[in-house]
Chains A and B, each alone.
Chain A
C-alpha cells in the first residue's frame, strides 16, 4: 500500500515534468534512416547455407552487417572519421571478421552474429600495406599484417602477437603483398620499381627467414595493381606495355627470372592505355587459390583463363562484359559475368570456373536505372540448391553508391541508396495542390472572358470538387471495411498532394556524389532520384528554390549551382523539385568562376525569382535573363547590393549593381589575415518572419529589436593558437553599407565555432581553451526604447548604432551542429536545435539564451518571465527530440516552417537522416490526439436539450401561473 502511494507520487511528478515524446507518439511523425556509405569491402557469410549476413566496410569508416534478404542493418559500428578510423582491409573466416583500422593502427576481430568485438590489438607504427589470413593444414589460425618495414603474425583467436620481424632492405624495396599457401610459410613480396622483385619467405612458427631471393622484372612498377597469386603459389603479373603475362613460382629456387607469355600467343590484346586487371579466387584461405583467373583487357572485355602445367589457356572469352566476379559455395566455384543486353539492361550469367561452361537458367536481368550511374562492382553470393545445382544472388554497386540486390530472374530484392550517407545540402519544397485544388486556383489565375463562361467554369469546377469529395467518401468507406493492416499506404508521386496543414513536404537532398533525391517528408520514401554524372568529387553545391509551388500552372523550379572547388567554374542544373525532371529552360553558360550568388525578390513574368551570379571580374549574370527581368533589374539596380568575402586576405567588400549589369565597389573592410582568419560569414534566412518588433519590459515599456535584414555575422579565429592568446572574433557587419555594427572578441577561445544568426540575435558556440569546455554565447541587438523609423528598415538610413547585450554560458557537451527552429509567422517561441556528437538532437529553448537574464531576481525581471542567470546550461534528457533514434555523425540540421504556426519541420542529416516535427510552444493551435470529442459533444448536446426542456418547462410554468 505504501509503495503504491510512493509509486503513484513518482509517476504523477514524472507526468508533470515530461515534455518529450510519449511512447505512443514514437514513429508517428518522425522517421530515421540509417546508412553506411560507399561500400569498399563486401563479404557474404558463406559459413552456413542459411546465413543471411552480408558484411560491409565503407569509405565512411563504417563496419556493418546487412541482412541480405531485406537490406536492413543487423548491426553497425561507426568508427572515427578521417584517416584514423579508415578501414584498410576486411577479412573473414568462419564467424570472425578481422579488420585493420587506421592505416595499420589497430587490428580488430569481430564476432559477426551480434557484432561484438572479440579482441583488439594495437599494432606497431608503420603504414599499412597488406594483410592476409594464414592457414596451416586446412585451418586458419593466424593473421599476418604487412607494414612498410615490418611483418607481424597474430593469433586469430586472441589477437596476441606471435612474432614481428623487420623486413630486409625496407628503405629500397617497397613491400606490397603478402601470401601464404597453407604450407607453413608466409611470402612477402616487394618490388624495386623498374628493377626487380624481392620475395622473402618466413616460417610461420617463429618468423625465421627461410629464403630470400630477387627476380629481374624491369617492366614492373607496382605489384599491387598488376599481380596476383594463383594456383599453388604462382605469381602472375600482367603488363600493358609489353603486352604479356609473367609467371613465377614463388617457392622454386632455380628460376631466376619471370616466364614471359606474350598475349599475342593467346590471340589477346590489352586496350591501349588500360592497365590490365587480374582477378583470382581463393575459396578457402587455408588452401592455395584456384588456377583459374579473370583477365580484364579493357573496360568491357574480360577473359577467363586457366593455368595448367605451366601453360595458360583461355577458357572463355567474355566480350563485351562489364563486370566479372568469382563465388564459391561448398566445393564449387562459379564465375558471374555481367554483359550488356541492350541500352537499358544487363544480363548476368553464371559459369563454372573450372571449365567456363555456362550454367543453364541462371540469367539475371539487371535493369539499369536511367537516372542512376553505371554499375562498377559486382558481389556474388552463391549457394547450393536442393538439387545440388548452384544458385546465386548478386549485389550490384553503381557509381552513385547504390546497392542493388538481385535474384533470379531479375527481381530486385532490395536497394540501398548509400549516396544519402553524405547529404551536402537540402531544401524542403511545398507539395503541389491536387488536380481539383489546382483547378480552383486556375480559375482565379485566368483573365476574365465574359460572364457566362465564368459561371460555367465555376459550375464545372464545383462539380469536379463534388465528384472528388464523393470519391474520397467512397474510398474512406471502402478502406474502413478492410482490416487495417491490409490498407497499403504506399506513397507514389501521382497521389502526392499538399495536406491540410502543409505538414508533408518534398525534401530535395543533394549528396556529395552528385545524386539528387526527392524524399517524401512524411514517410521517408524516395520518390525520385537523379544522378548527375561528371561531378568532381570536391564540388560545392548550392541549392536555390527559384519558384515555389504557389504559382500554378507554372511548375516549381529549383536550381542547383555546382562549383568545382579547384577551378571555381560553376554550372547550373535546373529541375522540378516535385518530379525531379530536368527543366527545359536554357541555362546561361558560366565561362568564369562564380564568386557569389544572390536570389532577388524580383520575379519574372513566370513568377521565377531572379538569381544573380557574380563572376571573378565582378560581372553579373542574371538567370532567368528575359527582357522583362533585365528591365526590372535596370529599374532597381541602384538598390541591389551584394558582398564578397575573400577569407585568404581577410577582405570583405561590398558592391552595387549598375544599370548595365556591371558592378561598382562601394565599401571595403579588411581584417588582417595575419592576426585572424575569417572562418564563416552568415546572413539571416530569407524566409524568416519576426512577429514582434520589440520586447515588453517589466515596467511596461518596450525595448525595440534591431531587425536588420542585411546584417552579416562574420566569425574569425586567431592565427595564434596558444591557449592563452587565441581568440574568436565576432563582427556584425551591415551587408549594404559595410558598417561594422558590432565588434567583439572572445578571449581564450578557439573554434570550431558553430553559430546561428536570426532575428536580432546571434548565438555562437566556441571552445574555451583555458577552462577546456564548450561555451555558448548570445548577442542580442536592440534599438532602444524608441524606433528610429518604424515603417521601413533601410541600412542607408539607420544612423544610431544598436545597443548590444551579451551573455555567456557553459555548455556541458561538445557540439556538432546548431540550428534554430523556424515557423510560419514567427509567433511561436524559438528553440535552438543542437546536434550532439552522441547523435542526440537537443531542443534548447532560446529563453535560456537571453542576455537579459538577471543576476539578481527583481520584481521587474519576474514580471518579464526572465530566468535568473546560471552559468551552466542544463541538458535535460526530455529535450532530446529524437529520443533513442540517434543520428550518427550529425552534420547539418534543416528546419522548415509548416502550415501550422506551432509546428516546425526538422531534418537532421549526417550518416543517418532523421525527420521529425517540433513544437517549441507546444501544440497551441492543434487539438490533442486524445481529445475527448464524445464528451464535449455529449455535454454540448446535453446542455442544448437541457435548455430546450427547461425552456419548455418554464413556459408551462408561466402559463400555469398566468391561469392561476
Chain B
C-alpha cells in the first residue's frame, strides 16, 4: 500500500516533467497507472543505488527499486524512498565542493524468457554533478538503454535544468523527494534503402505521363516535319562541300610536292 502511495505521488510530479520529455517520446508513465496492478504479477525488480560522498569514493546505497514488467513493451517504474535529513545535508555538501552524484544498476536482461541468466556480474554506472541535481530540485531523467536482445547495456542520468549556476537551494522540502522520469530505450531500427516507395513514385510519374499522350511523344515525333527538310538540306550542302574540299586537298598535296 505504501508503494502505491509513493507511486501516485511520483505520478503527479511526472505529469509535469512529461512536458520536458516530449522530444524523446519514450515516456511510459501514461500507461503506468493502469498496469500498476500487474507489477508483481510477471515483472521483477532491480535495485537502483546511488552514491554521493565528500571524499568522492563511491559507497553505494539503495535509492529505490526499478520494477520491470515483462512482455513486449518494456515498461518500467521506479519506487524510491525520500532522502533523509542526513542525506540531504551530505548532498548539499557534495554539491558545494562540485562532487559527483553517481547511480548504478546491476547488469540485467529484461527478457522474461531469460529469467535464469538474467543477472550477470557487474554494474552499469552513470553520474551527474551533484550541484546540478541540487539546483534542479532533484528532478532527474534516468534512461536505461537495452541492446537488441533486451540486456540493459547502459544507464544515463541527466537533470533538468542541467546547469550549475551556484543558486542556493534554501528550501529543504525541495530536496526531499526525487522527481524522476524513467524510461527504457531499445535500439532503433536503422532504415534500409527505400526502394519500394521510390519505384512506386516512379511508376506513378510514368502513369501520369501515360495519361497525357501529347507529352509522351518524343521530340523527334513532334517536330519531324521541320527536322527532315533541314537534314536533307544539310546533307545536300555537305555533299557539295566534301567534293570541293577533296579537290582542294588534292591541290594542296600537289603543291607540297
Contact = CB atoms under 8 A, between A and B. Distances in A.
A binds B: yes
Interface of A: 1-2, 5, 638, 664-672, 675-676, 727, 729-730, 733, 737-740, 742-748, 768, 775, 777, 779, 784, 789, 796-801, 803-804, 806-810, 855-856, 869-872
B156 A740 contact: yes
A570 to B, nearest CB: 28
B122 interface: yes
Contact of A871 (B120, B185, B193, B235): B193
B188 A667 contact: no
B147 A737 contact: no
Given A1-B234, A746-B190, A809-B193, 9 more contacts: A2-B238, A669-B154, A672-B151, A729-B147, A738-B126, A738-B154, A743-B185, A747-B189, A855-B198
Contacts of A803: 23
A745 B241 contact: no
A730 to B, nearest CB: 7
Given A675-B148, A729-B147, A797-B132, A807 B191 contact: yes
A789 B163 CA distance: 10
B156 A675 contact: no
Interface in B205-257: 231, 234-235, 237-238, 241
19 contacts: A1-B241, A669-B124, A675-B147, A738-B125, A738-B127, A739-B126, A739-B154, A740-B145, A742-B188, A746-B192, A747-B189, A775-B193, A779-B190, A796-B132, A797-B161, A797-B163, A799-B162, A808-B193, A808-B194
Interface of B: 23-24, 56, 98, 100, 102, 107, 120, 122-129, 132, 141, 143, 145, 147-149, 151, 153-154, 156, 158-164, 185-195, 197-198, 201, 231, 234-235, 237-238, 241
Contact of A810 (B120, B187, B193, B234): B193
A779 to B, nearest CB: 8
B134 to A, nearest CB: 14
B126 A737 contact: yes
B62 to A, nearest CB: 19
Per DSSP, are chain A's interface residues mostly helix, strand or loop, or mixed?
strand
Nearest to B148: A745
Contact of B158 (A665, A676, A799): A799
Contact of A806 (B151, B159, B191, B231): B191
A664 B187 contact: no
A855 B234 contact: no
A593 to B, nearest CB: 22
Nearest to A3: B238
Contact of B148 (A727, A796, A871): A727
A906 to B, nearest CB: 28
B147 A676 contact: yes
Contacts of B128: 737, 796
B181 to A, nearest CB: 11
A739 B156 contact: yes
A870 B198 CA distance: 7
Given A670-B124, A738-B154, A738-B156, A675 B149 contact: yes
A672 B195 contact: no
Contacts of A744: 187-190
A675 B159 contact: no
Contacts of B195: 810, 871
A777 B189 CA distance: 12
B187 A796 contact: no
A675 B151 contact: yes
Among B143, B162, B187, B192, residue most surrounded by chain A Cβ atoms (within 10 Å): B192
Those 6 A-B pairs whose CB atoms lie nearest each other, nearest first: A669-B154, A739-B156, A797-B162, A799-B158, A871-B193, A799-B162
Contacts of A798: 158, 162
A872 B145 CA distance: 33
Contacts of B122: 668, 670
Contacts of A737: 126-128, 156
Contact of B198 (A668, A739, A768, A869): A869
A799 B238 contact: no
Nearest to B126: A667
Nearest to A718: B148
A739 B128 CA distance: 10
A882 B209 CA distance: 41
A870 B201 CA distance: 11
Contacts of A738: 125-127, 154, 156
Nearest to B120: A672
B23 A784 contact: yes
Contacts of B159: 799
A417 to B, nearest CB: 44
A799 B147 contact: no
A66 B113 CA distance: 66
B125 A668 contact: yes
A745 B192 contact: no
A796 B129 contact: yes
B147 A869 contact: no
Nearest to A770: B192
Interface centre among A670, A797, A799 (most CB of B within 10 A): A799
Contacts of B24: 801
Contacts of B102: 666
A871 B191 CA distance: 11
Contact of A745 (B23, B120, B189, B197): B189
A913 B98 CA distance: 51
A671 to B, nearest CB: 5
A748 B190 CA distance: 11
Contact of A729 (B23, B126, B187, B194): B187
Given A675-B148, A797-B163, A730 B190 contact: yes
A874 to B, nearest CB: 13
B153 A669 contact: yes
Contact of A2 (B125, B147, B193, B235): B235
B139 to A, nearest CB: 10
Given A666-B100, A666-B102, A740-B154, A1 B193 contact: no
